[in-house]
Structure 1
Amino acid sequence: MVAYIAYYLVLVGFTLANNRTYIARLRLSAENQSLMDALLEEASSREEVIASRTSELSLSNKQLAQQISRRKELERRTQQDLELLNSVINATSDLIFYKDYAANDGRYLGCNESFINFLGRASKDIIRQTDRQFFSEKEVKLIHATDHIALKEGSHVVERWMEDPQGHRVLLSIKLSSFNDTQGNVRGVVGIARDITDQKKTEETLRFQQRSLEHLAHHDALTGLPNRLYLIDKLNHALLSPDLNTASLAVLFLDLDHFKDINDSLGHSLGDEVLRAVSRRLSACVRKADVIARLGGDEFTIVLQGIGSSIIAVEVAQKILKVFQEPLTLSDRTLNVSTSIGISVSPGDGVTTEELLRNADAAMYRAKRSGRNTFMHYSPDMTERALARLSMESDMHTALARGEFHVAYQPQVDMRSGELMGVEALMRWEHSTRGNIPPEEFIPIAEENGLILAMGSWVLEEVCAEQKRLKNAGLSDIRYAVNVSGRQLLNPEFLALVEHIVSTKDCSGSQLELEITESVLLHEPELAAKAMQSFREMGIAIAIDDFGTGYSSLAYLKQYPLNRLKIDASFVRDIVVDPDDRAIAQTIIALGNALDLEVIAEGVETEEQRAMLVSDGCSLGQGYLFSKPISPADLLVYRSSQR
């Protein structure tokens, strides 16, 4: 039992010892677990911090990488932009450079290819060099002067002639601008220079052309004289001058006599030569202060300023007429040219430009009507006549279209037997409101303004058409005389026109006669003879109308292919009572007989005139003794009454 108890006690003691050990172990294990938990908690906390810091660092690294990438991209783009800018700068033809004036010597910091080429140096030989290495001392002073203006004012533009490496002088337009350093202090200048040599030449050409256009706008291209626009401007200013209070102003209006005949017969080229020669003569007749203008065609105007009296204007007109007495020497001939002059003086004859020109023009037309080659001073009654003339001229332009013109036929008879031998076609104008207008009023105007060509063609067509109608009516053996002006005869197209009319109207040329005034022989004898010969070859007869009233040389008559002379009515009118008129008529009759030409007397109105003319050897007559001008129908009646 003791043993058992002892065993039990030993067992209990061992158990207690083991328990204490176990408990101690348990306590240690618990402490270790607590420590481990603390360590684990701390480790976990540190891991969180590390993870957070790692995340932050990763984000920072990412952001830094992005910044580096953006900076590299920016640097790449900047480099591209710089390369592009450099390419553009080098591609431009403008010279670009920049210079450093920090040390006040203006050394080159950079430039483009165009500037390098202009200097003819390599880039390395330009950078850090000054202008003295490339330009003369004189040019350097000019360059530095303009550079310093730009440094002071911020910018400056200058044009400068310089010499390129080939020795060519070029004009540069240089724009200078200052630039600053990093501290904001002015450091140097940037320059852009452009070669404007060709531009300047173009501008000069344009300016010259502009001046030429302005000159042409105010001057006559043919003669170089001022034109109407210039004249009116000068007159307007002159009339406003205070000098008019103490001195007069005169206007001379000139129109060349028979100039249209020159153009028609000799051509416009020679006509232009005449106008140039006339302008030179007129210029020699006046002072430099006076104005000579060509208004157009053959019209010239002279303005005399500051004259003390109208007598000065008369003296100038007389001087001009005297100068024109000398023939004009042209390239291949000499030509007699005269002029008619009208004078108006301010303030008596007008106080405005329009009045002075209009009144001088009216006076000129009076000079024309007075025989030409003279001058006339304006008088108030001329204005009414000038207005009437203008009205008539205006009406003439439409009279043909309105059918106001017609042809009347005056019989030409054998004064011994009374037999009808022919007729003269006479143009008549029955105005719609003014009634019958005499030929002596409208024919001279038509000759002056050129309408005579159209009117003459119309008359010829009417006569040729009437000739055929009368022939069909039984009147087939008479001659039809048609008046032809000098302008018509000498017109190069007139022959072809007559041929065309005769052909298309089926007219007999052998029954036509062209009556030409004696004055034509005076102005252009050779051309007149050539034209007359052409018509004679067509079978058309030629008569000299109003013979004895002109100044043609009798020696010329035998050179012309004539058929008939017509004694002017002025010699027939008083032939019975005036021995001189009879002597002239007898001379013309004798001349005609000597040259084997028919002679016909115009204006026979009395039996005494008829008898005297017949006794003197003139067998053909025309006048109111036999018949007034009549219609084609009355002409048939007239012929029937003779049988």
Structure 2
Amino acid sequence: MNVSPLPLAVFVVDADGAIINWNKGCEKLAGHTPADIRGSHLDDLIAFDDAANAPLPIEERIDIESTGTLRCMDGRQVPVRLTVARQAVGPGQPVSHTVIVIPRSPTVPSRYALVQDVPVAELIEVLPCLFYVIDQSRRLLLWNHQLEDALERPCEDMPNDDVLSFFNERDRPRIVQSIMEAFEHGASSHEAEMIGKEGKRTALLFHCARTSLGGLPCVFGTGLDISQRKKAEHGLRLRERAIYSSVNAIIITCCVGTENHIEYVNPAFEHITGYTLSEVRGRDPRFLQADGVDVNERQRIREALARRQGVRAVLRNVRKNGEVFWNEMRIDPVANGDGEVTHFVGVLNDITTAKHYERRLRHLAHHDALTGLANRTLLQEKLHLAISEAQRDGGIGALAFLDLDNFKHINDSFGHDAGDAVLREIARRLRDCMRETDTVARVGGDEFVLVIKDQQHVAEIGALLDRIGRSIVMPVPFGRQEIVPGTSIGVALFPRDGDSVDRVMRAADAAMYHAKSLGKNNCQFYSAQLSQVVHQRLLLEASLGRAIRGHELLLYYQPKVDLRSGRMIGAEALVRWNHPEQGLLAPANFIPVAEQTGLIVPLGDWVLCEACAALQQLRGSGPSDFVISVNLAARQLRQREFVAHLAEILKVHEVAPEQIELEVTESQLMDNPAEAMEALTDLKAMGVRLSIDDFGTGYSSLSYLQKFPVDVIKIDRSFLVKSDDDHAVIMRAIIALGHSLKLKVIAEGVETQDQLAFLRDHDCDQIQGNYFSPAVSSVALQDMIARDTRLPS
């Protein structure tokens, strides 16, 4: 008896049961058109027998046989059996299922009969994989359209080529071996990448089995697309290699109840901790923790793990050798497909070096690198606390500013190494004199500050500062030499002199400035009167800066006269300040402030420009050898670009260098002779004239004096004011010394006929002073030159 073929209906549905594809058997069995099936749900066509009790999702019908009724287009209800299988898909692609529907006959046929009745052609075409049959010559006998798509070949080309041509040459020996194994042993499997005619590459898993067609031995098989799996495997290998090669320690633990047991650690973990994987596998990572520290951090980690959440922390662990190290840790959970956390991955970064560096930076942020004392930041914090405690407890505190006297001279004379040695020794002595509760700070190059807390009487503070002063002036050994430092100390009491950090510091600074103005190497306490003096000085500083910018300065000129001819041969430029409130101020009232604040540099530039402008105006009305002399400050002389700057000023005003004479004091030259020699040599090479001012008041070395490239020495006015024999001797000696060195000698401050006669008798070259003319304006000077005003003979 022949059994009628059973139409095999195959649906492809998504995870919710919506139909996304079907074969012709579906249309034939149910009588539905494609339009009827498209967009419908499997439940629209199939009534499952078990749906009345508890409908099962399509996922739960995998690998079980279900029964139901197929609803046909003509109203018939056909009993059917259904088999559900998940289709092979790659990561990230939507899940789909194949549903095979087979009608149930009243008498259930045998399995063999059912197989006999399966419409093979339809089944081959709907397979979710390649299908092929090849003979012993490796030619295709049968295949489905999926193979055509993978090879990018039309049907007529398929039987013509050896199947080995579909693969990369390096894979062909392995494919031949797999085919031979199927022919000889009945079955084989292998993986290979198939290459299409247009270059398309498809990674496939092949399963081969031996059979025969019409007595012809052949092999049939399937090829499942595993491209996505291969890609996922490659990604996993990359991530595994990254974990293995990471410089950070990585721990993977498995959740076992409330415990987390180590399954894997990478080589970086072994290097950082000293433990190997075999030594830690199965242990809880908590065995690494350092006892008694980071309690809160560890509790936070335990709570996060209990909640199956990620966490970050910084804590200390212990290496195998017992060494404690800092590590920054990040722990993240890993869940399975059902969302259940099964593992944790921990990443440990050894930050011990960074922690030590951070601690060092914190120290440097609050301490002076050279002496180790507190710096300005920490000083202000300590002073704020000390002021608050004094206000609360009713005690007395003091802030003392100490400025080393002549520290620049120490650096210039002995070198900066010696200066650093002095600073370190002073810092040590200050620490030794102070209590642990007090603060010693260094806030500048040679400035130290003391915060003295909790004193009962001002006398106690005075006694302490007296001991400190005596300690500082003790000689400091340096090599075979001894350096004797000195200090000026200014003291402010709190809360008497101020109730805030800023006020107390301003008061102490004012007291120190006053101490320096009294001759240095002494200690002064702040007072209200002192505050007024300092306030006036600050006003003067601010006003002077404005005066330089606002054209409040004037330049006067005191003529210089040649004693032999009586003719005017030059003039000294003398600055005046036309103060809007105080009237005309002499240099003595503001030049010291300018030197202390650095304003002497822009002030000096202004004087040079004005003097050159005056020479430019005199051109044509006066002698071509008329010279204007300008006083040069030490700070100007030390400027690296001063020579070039002066050359630019002369060029702008079209003034010859020999018409400018720069006056430098004797003390400036001897403060640092080598530096002065270099600066003067550069100026002399430019062509300007050079003069030593206030000669006789300093301590010139004759060996240096004869080397300095100067043209003139100017006798200080103090020798003319006193007419005793001693000063007369000095005057004669200076004139003789100047002439022996082939220098011109000029006397300043000549006020009387007797002084003039003395200078003429002893062959002095030039004079300046009120006897001939006081300082005059540029207009008056031009008039005197035009009238050829001369000194009476």
**TM-score of the pair, normalised by structure 1:** 0.69
The answer (yes or no) to whether the contact 1:363–1:378 under 8 Å persists in 2 is yes
Q: Deviations over 1:312-334 (max 9, x none)?
A: 213323432x24x659789xx99
- Give the aligned partner of residue 182 of structure 1: none
The answer (yes or no) to whether the contact 1:261–1:487 under 8 Å persists in 2 is no
- Give the aligned partner of residue 471 of structure 2: 319
Cα distance, 1:74 vs. partner?
Answer: 11
- Give the aligned partner of residue 534 of structure 2: 386
Alpha-carbon distance between aligned partners in 2 of 1:207 and 1:116, rounded to the nearest angstrom: 23
- Give the aligned partner of residue 39 of structure 1: none
In structure 2, which of residues 426, 430, 436 is the aligned counterpart of residue 286 of structure 1? 430
The answer (yes or no) to whether the contact 2:633–2:664 under 8 Å persists in 1 is yes
1:617 has 2:763 as partner: yes
- Give the aligned partner of residue 590 of structure 1: 736
Q: 1:303 to 1:592 in 2, by over 3 A?
A: farther
The answer (yes or no) to whether the contact 1:589–1:599 under 8 Å persists in 2 is yes
In structure 2, which of residues 384, 388, 391 is the aligned counterpart of residue 236 of structure 1? 384
Which amino acid in the other structure matches residue 393 of structure 1? E
Cα distance, 1:484 vs. partner?
Answer: 0.7
What pairs up with 1:443-482 in 2 under 5 angstroms?
A: 443-482=591-630
Q: 1:518 to 1:114 in 2, by over 3 A?
A: closer
Q: Deviations over 1:378-415 (max 9, x none)?
A: 44432111111111111122212211112111111124
Cα distance, 1:295 vs. partner?
Answer: 3.1
Q: 1:213 to 1:431 in 2, by over 3 A?
A: farther
The answer (yes or no) to whether the contact 1:340–1:373 under 8 Å persists in 2 is yes
Q: Deviations over 1:573-617 (max 9, x none)?
A: 122xx3333333233223223322222111111112222232233
Q: 1:245 to 1:316 in 2, by over 3 A?
A: farther
- Give the aligned partner of residue 399 of structure 2: 251
Which amino acid in the other structure matches residue 471 of structure 2? K
In structure 2, which of residues 457, 462, 470 is the aligned counterpart of residue 310 of structure 1? 462
Q: 1:415 to 1:300 in 2, by over 3 A?
A: farther
- Give the aligned partner of residue 749 of structure 2: 603
SS of the aligned residue for 1:516 comes to strand
Which amino acid in the other structure matches residue 499 of structure 1? A
Cα distance, 1:635 vs. partner?
Answer: 0.7
Unaligned stretches of 5+ residues in structure 2: 1-45, 65-84, 94-231, 244-249, 271-276, 291-297, 334-339
1:97 has 2:243 as partner: no
1:634 has 2:780 as partner: yes
Which amino acid in the other structure matches residue 650 of structure 2? V
- Give the aligned partner of residue 71 of structure 1: 60
Q: 1:196 to 1:633 in 2, by over 3 A?
A: same
- Give the aligned partner of residue 366 of structure 1: 514
Q: Deviations over 1:178-213 (max 9, x none)?
A: xxxxxxxxxxx9874544430xx34x5665565455
In structure 1, which of residues 190, 197, 200 is the aligned counterpart of residue 348 of structure 2? 197
Cα distance, 1:432 vs. partner?
Answer: 2.3
The answer (yes or no) to whether the contact 1:155–1:176 under 8 Å persists in 2 is no
Cα distance, 1:160 vs. partner?
Answer: 9.3
Q: Deviations over 1:41-64 (max 9, x none)?
A: xxxxxxxxxxxxxxxxx9564848
In proportion to residue count, which structure has more helix? 1
Cα distance, 1:516 vs. partner?
Answer: 0.6
The answer (yes or no) to whether the contact 2:331–2:347 under 8 Å persists in 1 is no
Alpha-carbon distance between aligned partners in 2 of 1:399 and 1:242, rounded to the nearest angstrom: 43
The answer (yes or no) to whether the contact 2:667–2:699 under 8 Å persists in 1 is yes
Alpha-carbon distance between aligned partners in 1 of 2:549 and 2:484, rounded to the nearest angstrom: 37
C-alpha root-mean-square deviation of aligned residues, in Å? 5.0
The answer (yes or no) to whether the contact 1:542–1:564 under 8 Å persists in 2 is yes
Alpha-carbon distance between aligned partners in 2 of 1:303 and 1:171, rounded to the nearest angstrom: 39
SS of the aligned residue for 1:559 comes to coil
Q: 1:349 to 1:305 in 2, by over 3 A?
A: same
Comparing 249-258 with 540-549, which one deviates more in the overlay?
249-258
The answer (yes or no) to whether the contact 1:163–1:170 under 8 Å persists in 2 is no
Q: Deviations over 1:501-553 (max 9, x none)?
A: 22232211112211111112222101101111222222222211111222333
Alpha-carbon distance between aligned partners in 2 of 1:163 and 1:589, rounded to the nearest angstrom: 84
Q: 1:584 to 1:528 in 2, by over 3 A?
A: same
Which amino acid in the other structure matches residue 730 of structure 2? I
1:483 has 2:631 as partner: yes
Comparing 278-287 with 402-411, which one deviates more in the overlay?
278-287
- Could you say which structure has the larger radius of gyration? 1
Alpha-carbon distance between aligned partners in 2 of 1:384 and 1:433, rounded to the nearest angstrom: 18
Alpha-carbon distance between aligned partners in 2 of 1:551 and 1:358, rounded to the nearest angstrom: 37
SS of the aligned residue for 1:630 comes to coil
Cα distance, 1:556 vs. partner?
Answer: 2.4
Alpha-carbon distance between aligned partners in 1 of 2:615 and 2:391, rounded to the nearest angstrom: 67
SS of the aligned residue for 2:443 comes to strand
Alpha-carbon distance between aligned partners in 2 of 1:395 and 1:117, rounded to the nearest angstrom: 67
Alpha-carbon distance between aligned partners in 1 of 2:720 and 2:622, rounded to the nearest angstrom: 33
Comparing 292-301 with 381-390, which one deviates more in the overlay?
292-301
Q: 1:510 to 1:371 in 2, by over 3 A?
A: farther
Alpha-carbon distance between aligned partners in 1 of 2:557 and 2:479, rounded to the nearest angstrom: 44
In proportion to residue count, which structure has more strand? 2
Q: Deviations over 1:468-494 (max 9, x none)?
A: 221233342222111111111122211
Alpha-carbon distance between aligned partners in 2 of 1:401 and 1:496, rounded to the nearest angstrom: 23
The answer (yes or no) to whether the contact 1:604–1:623 under 8 Å persists in 2 is yes
Comparing 290-299 with 89-98, which one deviates more in the overlay?
89-98
The answer (yes or no) to whether the contact 1:412–1:621 under 8 Å persists in 2 is yes
The answer (yes or no) to whether the contact 2:561–2:767 under 8 Å persists in 1 is yes
Cα distance, 1:463 vs. partner?
Answer: 1.3
Which amino acid in the other structure matches residue 727 of structure 2? D
The answer (yes or no) to whether the contact 2:720–2:749 under 8 Å persists in 1 is yes
1:430 has 2:587 as partner: no
The answer (yes or no) to whether the contact 1:543–1:563 under 8 Å persists in 2 is yes
Alpha-carbon distance between aligned partners in 1 of 2:758 and 2:60, rounded to the nearest angstrom: 132
Which amino acid in the other structure matches residue 400 of structure 2? L
- Give the aligned partner of residue 159 of structure 2: none
The answer (yes or no) to whether the contact 2:264–2:281 under 8 Å persists in 1 is no
The answer (yes or no) to whether the contact 1:131–1:140 under 8 Å persists in 2 is no
Count of aligned residue pairs for this structure pair:
536
Q: Deviations over 1:430-487 (max 9, x none)?
A: 1222222221121111111111112112211221222122123334222211111111
Which amino acid in the other structure matches residue 197 of structure 1? L
The answer (yes or no) to whether the contact 2:316–2:325 under 8 Å persists in 1 is no
Alpha-carbon distance between aligned partners in 2 of 1:555 and 1:175, rounded to the nearest angstrom: 78
Comparing 597-606 with 371-380, which one deviates more in the overlay?
371-380
Cα distance, 1:342 vs. partner?
Answer: 2.5
Identity %: 34
Unaligned stretches of 5+ residues in structure 1: 1-57, 120-125, 178-188
Q: 1:194 to 1:154 in 2, by over 3 A?
A: closer
Comparing 400-409 with 304-313, which one deviates more in the overlay?
304-313
Q: 1:274 to 1:449 in 2, by over 3 A?
A: farther
Cα distance, 1:376 vs. partner?
Answer: 3.7
Q: Deviations over 1:552-584 (max 9, x none)?
A: 333421221222211111221122xx3333333
Alpha-carbon distance between aligned partners in 2 of 1:94 and 1:192, rounded to the nearest angstrom: 10
Which amino acid in the other structure matches residue 623 of structure 1? G
SS of the aligned residue for 2:381 comes to helix
Alpha-carbon distance between aligned partners in 2 of 1:390 and 1:172, rounded to the nearest angstrom: 53
Q: 1:352 to 1:190 in 2, by over 3 A?
A: closer
The answer (yes or no) to whether the contact 1:226–1:293 under 8 Å persists in 2 is yes
Q: Deviations over 1:118-137 (max 9, x none)?
A: 99xxxxxx9xxx9998669x
Q: 1:642 to 1:285 in 2, by over 3 A?
A: same
Alpha-carbon distance between aligned partners in 2 of 1:140 and 1:392, rounded to the nearest angstrom: 68
SS of the aligned residue for 2:772 comes to coil
SS of the aligned residue for 2:560 comes to strand
- Give the aligned partner of residue 44 of structure 1: none
